[in-house]
Chain A
Amino acid sequence: NAGVTQTPKFQVLKTGQSMTLQCAQDMNHEYMSWYRQDPGMGLRLIHYSVGAGITDQGEVPNGYNVSRSTTEDFPLRLLSAAPSQTSVYFCASSYSIVGSSYNEQFFGPGTRLTVL
């Protein structure tokens, strides 16, 4: 299994440009999520999905859109990039994360995004 894969690894955008960060997992996980990592702030949840066709907002959703048309893929879209979105983005997945039943979240290697 490849686990959780993310593309691209690095990206530089100009303010106002749009792009999609790709995330895929081959473990048949129901739950997928996107985090951003900023210095001294840990990881903050952007959006998550509990299954195909179902998405919801996390802690910092503004400026980002997601969709979940298949179990495997969970792309993150920046419609109009801003310098405040310069960050490292991580995708994660797990089998189930409802209530007290916890399964380990597996993280991708990350995408380092710079917005000029």
Chain B
Amino acid sequence: GDSVTQMEGPVTLSEEAFLTINCTYTATGYPSLFWYVQYPGEGLQLLLKATKADDKGSNKGFEATYRKETTSFHLEKGSVQVSDSAVYFCALMSNAGNMLTFGGGTRLMVKP
């Protein structure tokens, strides 16, 4: 079945540092890929998505590129802020399915 693996946290960075959160997936066909963010005490919000190979999703300074050859969708940001502290989830949806498969989540803590 489909699965998503992302790096375990917590990831602790200083403000303005570069961020990478790794995500790899296993799926049949050509899934759509997503990053969701969960701020403390809140539900999940869609951060960005990519629906086909080599697509780059971007939002709020975050980027991720759909790499089919490496089955990866790593999240990056050039300069993190304290307000980026949250839990980040990588997820996929197969074309044949109608449900999201999530990774375990990575907690990011940004210190001033």
Contact = CB atoms under 8 A, between A and B. Distances in A.
B83 interface: no
* Majority DSSP secondary structure for residues of A touching B: loop
Given A40-B105, A42-B105, A102-B93, A107 B45 contact: yes
A90 B41 CA distance: 12
A32 to B, nearest CB: 11
Interface string A1-45: 000100000000000000000000000000101010000111111
B42 to A, nearest CB: 6
Name the prevailing secondary structure of the B interface residues.
loop
A43 B43 contact: no
Interface in B30-65: 32, 41-46, 49, 51
Interface of B: 4, 8, 32, 41-46, 49, 51, 89, 91, 93, 95-96, 98-100, 102-105
Interface of A: 4, 31, 33, 35, 40-45, 48, 50, 58-59, 90, 92, 97-100, 102, 104-105, 107-110
